[in-house]
Structure 1
């Protein structure tokens, strides 16, 4: 397959490029950066320019994979490449859904209104921007020549957000001698993780097989305590868990989901529980294969083995050692 990858230098895109190369495909990446895998061709281009893909529109491509989030970039790509590309695989997100209150929702769930503008200015526009991108692909290539892939939480080695790296790292590197780890008391919270390598391999197969459709590319759902136990088992953690309620955590300025001073993956609002519990039945029927969470977390731990405990502060999410110790002391004091 002659594959054009719009992206290829950031985490997911680079993993897709490597997967396609390893599968024997002829891969060309279009990006502003230069960090593409060895053996992959690179075309430097600024997709904010109207003529960014003009030179590539003179070549016949079996497939295009696009990871963009800006509607204008996707609209221009569809216009330029529709005459010369066989199929278009667009990487969207489950953030396109209008509600996350429903658990087990499939691809027929209502989506947000699309962003009218070509440029997403703030993160709050991420879901609407991806809806606009999806609509541009479907309008240009039609449903029979396009695949819309909606990933959930992507994890594994290289996760710079820290959402799938914090817990296994924290259990492997407790902040205190007894090894106590602060966790949210969220027994019913569902979580799901798709390994970036599984997603990349499947995107390449979709493109090569010209599989059409809209798919939730999400991991199998499991309760948050089961996710924590898997991380503990991988890390060999034997210390205690100090569970804290949502009210207590909020009162002590602990954030949800991601970012500094957070407990990653934790969501207090039950109306958001669908984020970790979407149906992946259609994707599995189309060949999506998922490795066990334990394998993903073990590889994360191996990839970060050279970092000390303070290395967690650079992972984008979680509590620093000092923050966790202070919170544990506050909890013990009542």
Structure 2
């Protein structure tokens, strides 16, 4: 297949390039290259999507598949206007953040969506779900029955720079000091390995799969995940459990960002990491055992440095202070 990837230099899109090249596809990546060049095996069409239609001047010919990971609706609309008529299949990597309600475990693809971000409104981290919803609408309008809306859940695995999954095995491997954990042992976690997601996106393109599908992992109780991470990391210190209300009172953040506890969700998010993946699995999504993702993530975290600055998780000094507060 002749595949154009709008991106291709970081995490998921780079993994798609690697797998597509290994499968013998002809790949081109349209990207600025701020995260580095695409992996070997891809033609690099160096372009800045903020330039609008001008960014696609170097893209020629017809494509068996186009894959877009955009989060900015303006960028996505320009790409669709310039390329949709030349693509036999169009994949938009959307997000489960487009769903309006995260309170119901087991929800399927027919759940209500957030309203699309209005044209002209700036796309920000705060309106991420609305931005993705707007791109879904634009994709369906331009590519119609040729479009696959891949609604990805939390992506983990080697190379993840968000730290929303890797924080825990890395923290447990860093030292044997007490580890502060939220009291959510029975709460579900749901992570899809980046390698499985990339493989599924390519398979869907090869098969011509269309429609909206939630690409999410299997659910694993947080306590089970944490114990497996502790064993894999060889941590022999204490785990100090703190109540959710107390953590919130201390200013600990949910989910991500500085001084957060990843995989801990705000109230009303019982279904956020417990969505159904049955439709995607019926369409060909294959998931490796979650323990394999955990083990490979730990290896990757060790190689990148357990003490490196992180985008999510508690800073060591914050964790020490909170543990001492609980002990006192």
Any idea what SS the aligned residue of 2:117 has? coil
Change (3 A) 1:32 1:308: closer
Q: Which of 115-124 and 323-332 deviates more?
A: 115-124
Q: Which moved more, 1:235-244 or 1:165-174?
A: 235-244
What corresponds to 2:98 in structure 1?
Answer: 96
Partner of 1:160: 161
Do the aligned partners of 2:172 and 2:179 also contact (CA within 8 Å) in 1? yes
2:24 counterpart of 1:24 = yes
Q: For each residue in 1:165-208, what CA deviation from the matched residue of structure 2 results, as whole angstroms up to 9, or x when unmatched?
A: 111111112362xxx21110013321100011110111111111
The 8 Å contact of residues 116 and 133 in structure 2, kept in 1 or not, is answered as yes
Aligned to 1:193: 191
Residue 318 of structure 1: which of 288, 313, 322 is its match?
A: 313
| Gapped regions of structure 1 (runs ≥ 5) | none
Give the corresponding residue for 1:232: 230
Contact 1:63 1:88 in 2 (8 A): yes
Residues 71 and 118 of structure 1 are in contact (CA less than 8 Å); yes or no, is this contact kept in structure 2?
no
The change in CA–CA distance for 1:213 and 1:317 in structure 2 (over 3 A counts) is same
Offset at residue 76 of structure 1 (A): 1.6
Describe how 1:174-193 pairs up with structure 2 within 5 A. 174=175, 176=177, 180-193=178-191
Shift of 1:306: 4.1
Deviation by residue 1:209-234 (Cα, 9 ceiling, x = unmatched) = 11112110111112211221221222
Answer yes or no: is the 8 Å Cα contact 2:53–2:82 preserved in 1: no
Query: What's the RMSD between the two structures over aligned residues?
Result: 1.5
Question: Unaligned 5+ residue runs, structure 2?
Answer: none
Contact kept? 2:262, 2:313, Cα under 8 Å: yes
- Equivalents in 2 of 1:174, 1:318: separation in Å? 15
1:279 aligns with 2:276: yes
User: Which residue of the other structure, out of 283, 289, 293, is the alignment partner of 2:290?
Assistant: 293
Counterpart secondary structure, 2:287: coil
Change (3 A) 1:89 1:281: same
Contact 2:53 2:79 in 1 (8 A): no
1:332 aligned residue:
327
Q: 1:195 to 1:321 in 2, by over 3 A?
A: same
Matching of residues 202-281 of structure 1 within 5 Å:
202-269=200-267, 271-281=268-278
Deviation beyond 6 Å, 4+ runs, structure 1? none
- Are 2:149 and 1:148 aligned? yes
C-alpha displacement at 1:119, in angstroms? 5.8
Structure 1 position 139, deviation (Å):
0.9
Distance in 1, Cα, partners of 2:287 & 2:123: 34
Cα 1:203–1:309 change in 2 (3 A) is: closer
* 1:96/1:308 CA distance change after superposition, 3 Å: closer
- Residue 53 of structure 2 is matched in structure 1 by 50
Is 9-18 or 317-326 further displaced after alignment? 317-326
1:280-324 CA-partner distances (Å, limit 9, x unpaired): 00111111111122211211211222455422xx12111222222
The SS at the match of 1:133 is helix
